[in-house]
Amino acid sequence: MTVLAPQTRSAATSSRQAWRLLVSLLGLVGALVLTWANAGLAAAADAAPIAVPSGVRSELIGRWDIDTLNRILTVDSPKYFGISVPYTPARNAVRLYRITYASVVPEQNNRPIVATGLLAVPDTGASSLPILSYQHGSAFLKTQVPSFPDQSGETQLIVAQFAGQGYVVIGADYFGMGASTEPEAFGVMASQQQASLDMLRASEAVLAQMQIATGKLFLGGWSLGGFVTMAFLERLEKDGVKVSGAATASGPADVFSLLSGFLDFPRKNDAASTNLLYILSAFSFETYYGLPGLARSFFTDEYYDIAKRAYERQPYDFNDIPTDLTKLIRPDYFDPDFFASSAYGRIAFATQAYRWIIKTPVHNYYGEADEVVSVGLARLAMNYQQGIGGGNDKVEAISTGPTDHRGTFATAVALWKNWFDRL
């Protein structure tokens, strides 16, 4: 932190007071917006589904043969995730389609939006197939998402393990990602639910045209996608859609707990890339909840511009973003009470996906050396559900051993497959 010369301290004090006033005003506006946001989250879950237009567009973008899929399982994924896992070998080729579909932004009064995603269809000739909706993790680039599978290591693994074994695999890119020209909606829960729901509908429409019926529906997600999976499950259950099983890997069910943890109770093994969680979420909250100035009030003046470039996916050097969060984020946010009462903190507090009576069997896999999601946070949904009266046993948290963030996902995927096959 820079030490100010005596002649600059008075001006700095006035500037700091003005900044605090701005944050206070944002907090007041945030309270109003959060009231609306909470209503928006609930409304998005409870409102009658909005029909996807019949003009859903599908584009064949590739076909992966059995050798390609098995190379992903035995060579590419172990190299990418840093761990070797005994996956079930692929037994069929897979056709890959980029789906473009219409959706709406619940936080913005159901503003129409166009989104993209991946549909991976087993090349078996079968007339009925189970379907896995995969919710992807955080992405550094707009194209490190399902509908650009060549650029997404996690998507490649899911396609190889599941679509190569006869499951239809779908994956929404989320708003602002993939081929979208919109800003990213990172951690914006109702929008991520809506993007996933309308991707499911669009995929079912395309499959119907292919004369393929869908059987059991499964959900899976890693990291951010683990949170989205839980949020999507809540939406589907409220809409009366049967889900046979849902699984996550390193999934934080409570975004406030995740973000507060790095500020208030940092661990020695916290990932350096956690700085991007704050960057993507702060600008997404500002954009989608309509709070101009939120991000500027959150980041220090020195690093605001590069943070904005990172969010907008403009050219920047990742090494120029400090891994020391005290340099990136304004000091007041390290006060837990200030953080909780800020507009940013209030929205984060509302962004949770475990406080409802879960009816679907859920497995939350976690790693004991995970540098992003702590063991306590990974077990939160299970502990909460078991703490309801006599206990709801639908959610089970399962350790993958001393695995890190990537290793937890790579290990869990094989466990998902074995479990889903038995359901």
What Rg value do the Cα atoms of the chain yield, rounded? 21
Q: At what angle do helices 6-46 and 189-209 cross, to 10 degrees?
A: 40
- pLDDT by residue (tens digit) across 363-419? 999 999 999 999 999 999 999 999 999 999 999 999 999 999 999 999 999 999 999
- pLDDT at position 222 is 99
Q: Is 103 exposed, middle or buried (0-12, 13-18, 19+ CB in 10 A)?
A: buried
Q: What is the mean pLDDT of residues 335-350?
A: 98
- pLDDT by residue (tens digit) across 106-120? 999 999 999 999 999
d(CA 418, CA 406): 19
Is residue 18 scored above 70 in pLDDT?
A: no
d(CA 281, CA 314): 17
Q: What is the mean pLDDT of residues 198-223?
A: 97
- pLDDT at position 54 is 61
Is residue 324 scored above 70 in pLDDT?
A: yes
Q: 156: which 2 tokens?
A: 């490649």
> Which among 379, 378, 388 has a CA at the least distance from the CA of 356?
388
Q: At what angle do helices 274-288 and 343-350 cross, to 10 degrees?
A: 100
> Which among 23, 98, 114, 18 has a CA at the least distance from the CA of 296?
23
Is residue 22 scored above 70 in pLDDT?
A: no
Mean pLDDT of the residues in the chain = 91
At residue 361, the 3 state secondary structure works out as coil
At residue 180, the 3 state secondary structure works out as coil
Q: At what angle do helices 6-46 and 343-350 cross, to 10 degrees?
A: 30
Residue 328 vs residues 296, 304, 309: alpha-carbon distances, Å:
11, 8, 14
Q: 355: which 2 tokens?
A: 């406080």
Is residue 291 scored above 50 in pLDDT?
A: yes
351-378: b (≥16 Cβ within 10 Å) or e:
bbbbeeebebbbbbbbbeebbbbbeebb
d(CA 347, CA 339): 11
- pLDDT at position 31 is 44
At residue 22, the 3 state secondary structure works out as helix
> Which among 91, 257, 247, 105 has a CA at the least distance from the CA of 184?
105
Phi, psi for 174 (deg, rounded to 5): 80, 160
Residue scoring higher pLDDT (28 or 64): 64
d(CA 57, CA 314): 28
Is residue 152 scored above 50 in pLDDT?
A: yes
What percent of the chain lies above the pLDDT cut of 70? Answer: 87
- pLDDT by residue (tens digit) across 166-196? 999 999 999 999 999 999 999 999 999 999 9
Is residue 248 scored above 60 in pLDDT?
A: yes
Q: Which residues contact 398 (CB under 8 A, 6 or more apart)?
A: 363, 364, 365, 366, 415
Which amino acid is located at 339 in the chain? F
Residue located via tokens 């038995």: 422
What percent of the chain lies above the pLDDT cut of 90? Answer: 87
Contact between 396 and 383 (Cβ < 8 Å): no
At residue 381, the 3 state secondary structure works out as helix
CB neighbourhood size of 63 (10 A): 12
- pLDDT at position 390 is 98
d(CA 397, CA 399): 7
- pLDDT at position 370 is 98
- pLDDT at position 315 is 92
Which amino acid is located at 328 in the chain? L
SS3 sequence of 130-164: EEEEEECCCCCCCCCCCCCHHHCHHHHHHHHHCHH
- pLDDT by residue (tens digit) across 40-62? 444 434 444 333 456 699 999 99
- pLDDT by residue (tens digit) across 66-82? 999 999 999 999 999 99
CATH code for the domain defined by 57-254+352-422: 3.40.50.1820
d(CA 224, CA 145): 12
> Which among 303, 299, 321 has a CA at the least distance from the CA of 23?
299
The residue ranges of every structural domain in the chain are: 20-46+256-350, 57-254+352-422
